[in-house]
Structure 1
């Protein structure tokens, strides 16, 4: 039981802190830099939308304000079966160079992106969501990374804007992910991109699939081509936290379920003899993170068994139960706690509960192709 307890705690720690620590130590000796220059190739910016009449004007306005040569920028709004006024609004901007690619039936974000790529004329393709706001220089910054011939795709840095201007649990988690991506960029390659704003060479997008995450698949395509994915701190995508906290759980389940689908379709990347250090990254950042709920359960069970004959383990069990008690109690409260020290346990338990649900759905054969975007 002591071995089970120790091993469980070790793997949970390694998933969230050991892996980043490995990257940090390696970055001291083997640090990869990105050569950015004034590279301004023809670019295609693809914006996917589904019933976004409330936000599409703001997104188009934000896009028109981007600091990039207009003669080198193709903007495509891929409307995925919109039934409201989205298509009409986009058409009204045709004189501004905004092209509408409207699909009569809703098939999902990735399917819309896949078909939009076929209409793209740029050497680099940029993908962005309607809810994401970009800095005026954001497009120029993300494109500058492709001066480096080793770069196949580039991810933006996410910034979550709280509605009351206070830190939110989603924001803290995003900051952790951005920190981890920065470390991955320094050592080798990203494992995943920010789906709300990322860019890739056109050849990397040649085999997009309508049923797998484009942000995850794009990195894997880059690795296959001998390229890598990087994160650019100067290319920022801003979006608000989820307006309905209960929908956040469903969003997490969808994200993990789709991630599991891509992961198990690409098990070749676990072959360290072929992909080297990226195999370690692929395991730690994805599979190990998704196995954390299993280790949390085994740690609690082993702790409970050990507490029967040990005062020290009894104290640990009380702390163990207190942590979950805070998370469950706060999650069920009508007014969720506002203190950061209480919000983090809630978010941690919520994330890992969502992973459990996603595993169950995956094992039962469920696959996610499309969904309604979360209200922000």
Structure 2
């Protein structure tokens, strides 16, 4: 039992801290900086929308304010079976160069993006959600990374904005992920992109799947071609946070479930002899992280068994249970605690509970293809 407890803890620590530390060391020993140069290739901006009449106008006004040559920027709003006034609003912007592609039947975000790609003419394809606002220089910044021939796709950096439209404090989860992406970019390649704002070379988009998570799969397509994915801190996507914690929990479950589907269709990337460092990243960032709920369960079980024979392990069990107790109080209070000591347990337990639910649904044969935009 002591071995089970020790190994479980070791794997949990490596998933969240050992992996980033190894990337930090690699990034210093053999950094892979991105060669950025401002350039203006033809770009296609694809905006996926589904019943977005409340927000689509704001998104299109934000798009028209982008500082990129209009003759080189093709904008396509791809409507995923919208049944409200979304299509009519978009048609009102036709004279300003906004194109509309209507998917008559709702089949999910990726299918809508795939259909829009058939009409795309740009060398670089940028994908963005309706809820995500961009800086005027947003397209120019993200495109500058493609001056580096080793780059196949680029992720933005997520920033949370308040209800007043101004930047506000970011959640622990967002800050951790942005930090991890920075380390991955410096050492080698990202393993996943920000689904709300990312870009890829047109050739990387070939074979685009209409039923798999595009932001995850795009990185895999890049690495399959010998290219990499990077994160650009100058390309920022602003979005409003989801105020309802339970709705955010459901979103995390959907995201992981979709990610598991992609991973199990691309197990080849675990082949260290073929993909080298990226295989290690793929294992640590995805598979190992998604196995943490299992390690948490084995650690708690082993700790409980050991506590029957040792006062030391009994004390550790009390700390163990206290950690989960703090998370439970934060969850049932239905409001985010202010102190870091309270935030971390709630964040950690919530994320891993969502992963556990996603695993259960995946093993049960459920798959997530249909996409419903989060209400922010």
TM-score w.r.t. structure 1 length?
0.97
2:342 is equivalent to residue 320 of structure 1? no
Q: Which residue of 1 aligns with 2:88?
A: 88
Q: Which residue of 1 aligns with 2:145?
A: 145
Q: Which residue of 2 aligns with 1:260?
A: 260
Q: CA deviation at 1:308?
A: 1.4
RMSD: 1.2
What is the 5 A alignment of 1:126-275?
126-163=126-163, 167=169, 171-275=171-275
Q: Which residue of 2 aligns with 1:13?
A: 13
Q: Which residue of 2 aligns with 1:337?
A: 337
Q: CA deviation at 1:342?
A: 1.3
> Which deviates the most, 93-102 or 333-342?
333-342
> Which deviates the most, 119-128 or 331-340?
331-340
Q: CA deviation at 1:341?
A: 2.3
2:359 is equivalent to residue 359 of structure 1? yes
Whole-Å separation in 2 of the counterparts to 1:329 and 1:181:
31
Contact 1:87 1:100 in 2 (8 A): yes
2:322 is equivalent to residue 294 of structure 1? no
Contact 2:101 2:116 in 1 (8 A): yes
Describe the shift of the 1:329–1:118 C-alpha distance in structure 2 as closer, same or farther (beyond 3 A). same
Whole-Å separation in 2 of the counterparts to 1:242 and 1:325:
24
Whole-Å separation in 2 of the counterparts to 1:241 and 1:209:
28
Q: CA deviation at 1:340?
A: 3.3
Q: 1:327-367 CA deviation, whole Å, 9 max, x = no partner?
A: 11221125553333212211211111111111111111111
Find the residue that maps to 1:119 and give its secondary structure: coil
Specify every segment of 5 or more residues in structure 1 that has no aligned partner in the other structure, as ranges: none
Q: CA deviation at 1:103?
A: 1.3
Q: Which residue of 1 aligns with 2:350?
A: 350
Find the residue that maps to 2:368 and give its secondary structure: coil
Contact 2:172 2:347 in 1 (8 A): no
Q: 1:311-342 CA deviation, whole Å, 9 max, x = no partner?
A: 21111111100000111122112555333321
Describe the shift of the 1:13–1:162 C-alpha distance in structure 2 as closer, same or farther (beyond 3 A). farther
Whole-Å separation in 1 of the counterparts to 2:196 and 2:29:
32
How many pairs were matched up? 374
Whole-Å separation in 2 of the counterparts to 1:231 and 1:166:
21
Q: CA deviation at 1:166?
A: 6.0
Contact 1:204 1:221 in 2 (8 A): yes
Whole-Å separation in 1 of the counterparts to 2:88 and 2:150:
41
Specify every segment of 5 or more residues in structure 2 that has no aligned partner in the other structure, as ranges: none
Whole-Å separation in 2 of the counterparts to 1:235 and 1:172:
20
Contact 1:244 1:375 in 2 (8 A): no
Contact 1:154 1:230 in 2 (8 A): yes
Find the residue that maps to 1:131 and give its secondary structure: coil
Q: CA deviation at 1:161?
A: 2.3
Whole-Å separation in 2 of the counterparts to 1:296 and 1:278:
26
Whole-Å separation in 2 of the counterparts to 1:335 and 1:119:
45
Q: CA deviation at 1:163?
A: 4.4
TM-score w.r.t. structure 2 length?
0.97
Find the residue that maps to 2:308 and give its secondary structure: helix
Whole-Å separation in 2 of the counterparts to 1:100 and 1:204:
23
Whole-Å separation in 1 of the counterparts to 2:2 and 2:162:
42
Whole-Å separation in 1 of the counterparts to 2:96 and 2:79:
18
2:35 is equivalent to residue 42 of structure 1? no
Q: CA deviation at 1:38?
A: 2.1
Whole-Å separation in 2 of the counterparts to 1:38 and 1:3:
54
